[in-house]
Amino acid sequence: MLEACQDLLRKANETAVKNVLLGKGGPFGAILALCDEGSNAYECIGEPGANAVLETGVATTHAEDRVLQPHYIEVLKNVLIRWLDDGLAPRLVLVSSGQSCPACHAKAEIVARHLTEGRLFKGQEELFGSVQEILGKNMIVLYGTSYQETARVAGFNDLPYVADLMRFAAEPDGPSMVAYETRDLYDIPKAVTDIFRDAPRKVSILVRGGEVLAVGEDQRTDIDLFSTSEVTAIRTACIKQKQAGLEAPWLLGDPNTRNPDKERKAILYTGSDIGPLMRAELQWSAVNGLVHVTGLPYELPKTCLREIPSMTNDAFLRAMARGYNHDKSRLSVLQSTRTYNKNPFFVWTLKQENMPAVTYNGAACDDALQGYMEKAAFVFRGEALDENSAKADRRSGPTTFYLDPSPT
């Protein structure tokens, strides 16, 4: 299975290079696949995906997001059933050229939970019962280049996002990239109150400079796992800005999180508590604040309020802030450190030097966040485990597993 994973990673890197050369987005490629635990056989679920931020204008259309879209999940269900009928032992693997940002990490966790809890087989309980042993195993996430390497080689700086997630989990009332508060329905702008009162179902409302920018509804289904009302509002606003010809449509608010301009300040109003997916989507889109609105005139079902059915948003956020490979996660995170993994990022850097184009980057790190940066680098990576070891050396804490016998 190790050889299969490395082959998939090579293909993800090739996809990332092509994506840069075509000018569609950053140097990130991803593949969703089933791998046979007893051999090097594998089958890709759909086509490889690539970062599409520049093409779509949406801040989180990352490579992993592309291969976890509804049609991929539908294909996954069908291929999984066929593999089991053929007597194979499938393991779901998400491979990406670079380490996943917290938005993509949350999406992988959501898919893994729907799979291991049988929610992808809703209405097919007999089928789920027959494959429960297989589905009960963690989904593998394999990446090539780490946060630190992508920052050093290509200037992408995602580490502050996970550091900010950790900070918020530890200090919810402290400084944050996304300001968070709870307010009553009648203690918010009247235009927003009126939309909440008139909405037939749960909505989230994005406001910038006092004007409503977008309204989103929960569009999730059994195979569309991410289209919460918050995500829908954010993506709708980004697409509107793309259609209007804005140079950086993925920026909805003021990237200056410490002192945002009043006219550029963006606030999302929602009936849900903040979760890790929602928070990461807000970070990437430079939305400056989230208001959890209470006192709504109707009762919302738990499934509408939560990012995953089995946990509250707060519990899910705290679990995600713990990093990789812990008992609250349904993911087994691995890293390959082979030199070729850096190729897409070198190609990106060379292209930017020779033909500068509109681009985007990760978050700026404020002074108050510095204390969490080292912690984040530690729990979102960890010690190496070679392919022949029986167990990880956990003396230093959480582990990111390595596929290579001798990481460099």
Q: Please write the tens of the pLDDT for every residue from 31-54.
A: 999 998 878 889 999 999 999 998
Q: Is the same domain home to 149 and 191? A: no
Q: Is the same domain home to 290 and 331? A: no
Alpha-carbon distances, residue 358 vs 280, 289, 294, 363 (angstroms): 22, 26, 40, 16
Q: Is the same domain home to 364 and 236? A: no
Q: Is the same domain home to 169 and 312? A: yes
Residue 357 lies in a domain: yes
Measured in residues, the chain has a length of: 408
Domain CATH number, residue 287: 3.40.140
Which amino acid, 124? Q
Higher-confidence position of 291 and 133 = 291
User: 13: domain range?
Assistant: 2-156+322-402
Where a domain ends, among 285, 320, 355? 320
Residue 315 lies in a domain: yes
Q: Is the same domain home to 37 and 152? A: yes
Residue 283 lies in a domain: yes
3-state secondary structure (DSSP) of residue 183:
strand
Residues 6 or more apart in contact with residue 247 via CB below 8 angstroms: 358
Q: Is the same domain home to 34 and 19? A: yes
**pLDDT at position 123, please?**
52
Task: Express each pLDDT in 168-192 by its tens digit.
Answer: 999 999 888 999 999 999 999 999 9
Q: Is the same domain home to 135 and 241? A: no
Q: Is the same domain home to 232 and 368? A: no
Q: Is the same domain home to 169 and 315? A: yes
Nearest-CA neighbor of 92 among 127, 136, 48? 136
Angle value at C-alpha 111, between 105 and 114, nearest 5 degrees: 140
Q: How large is the average pLDDT for residues 90-96?
A: 91
Residue 407 lies in a domain: no
What token pair was written down for 89?
Answer: 């032992």
Q: Is the same domain home to 229 and 292? A: yes
Where a domain ends, among 298, 320, 342? 320
Q: How large is the average pLDDT for residues 236-255?
A: 94
Residue 333 lies in a domain: yes
Q: Is the same domain home to 327 and 384? A: yes
Higher-confidence position of 34 and 1 = 34
Residue 255 lies in a domain: yes
**Residue 179, Cβ neighbours under 10 Å: how many?**
16
Per cent of the chain over pLDDT 70 is: 84
Q: Do residues 267 and 288 touch, judged by C-beta distance below 8 A?
A: yes
Angle between helices 276-284 and 159-170 (to 10 degrees): 130
Higher-confidence position of 199 and 388 = 199
3-state secondary structure (DSSP) of residue 335:
strand
Q: Do residues 141 and 91 touch, judged by C-beta distance below 8 A?
A: no
**pLDDT at position 69, please?**
96
The pLDDT-based confidence of 127 (bands split at 50, 70, 90) is low
The total number of structural domains that make up the chain:
2
Where a domain ends, among 254, 287, 320? 320
**pLDDT at position 45, please?**
96
Region class of 155: left (phi > 0), else alpha (psi between -120 and 50), else beta? left
Alpha-carbon distances, residue 245 vs 57, 95, 237, 241 (angstroms): 10, 33, 13, 6
In whole angstroms, what is the distance from residue 282 CA to residue 290 CA?
8
The pLDDT-based confidence of 394 (bands split at 50, 70, 90) is very low
Nearest-CA neighbor of 141 among 271, 324, 283, 15? 324
Q: Do residues 242 and 234 touch, judged by C-beta distance below 8 A?
A: no
Domain CATH number, residue 45: 3.40.140.10
Query: Residue 354: exposed, middle, or buried by beta-carbon count in 10 A (0-12, 13-18, 19+)?
Result: exposed
Q: Which residue has the tokens 């195993």?
A: 137
For the ranges 149-153, 255-259, 268-272, the maximum mean pLDDT occurs at: 268-272
What token pair was written down for 277?
Answer: 């997916």
Q: Do residues 55 and 63 touch, judged by C-beta distance below 8 A?
A: no
Residue 188 lies in a domain: yes
Q: How large is the average pLDDT for residues 97-125?
A: 82
Q: Assess whether pLDDT exceeds 50 at residue 407.
A: no
Residue 408 lies in a domain: no
In whole angstroms, what is the distance from residue 254 CA to residue 261 CA?
7
Q: Assess whether pLDDT exceeds 60 at residue 359.
A: no
Q: Assess whether pLDDT exceeds 90 at residue 292.
A: yes
Q: Is the same domain home to 271 and 367? A: no
The pLDDT-based confidence of 25 (bands split at 50, 70, 90) is confident
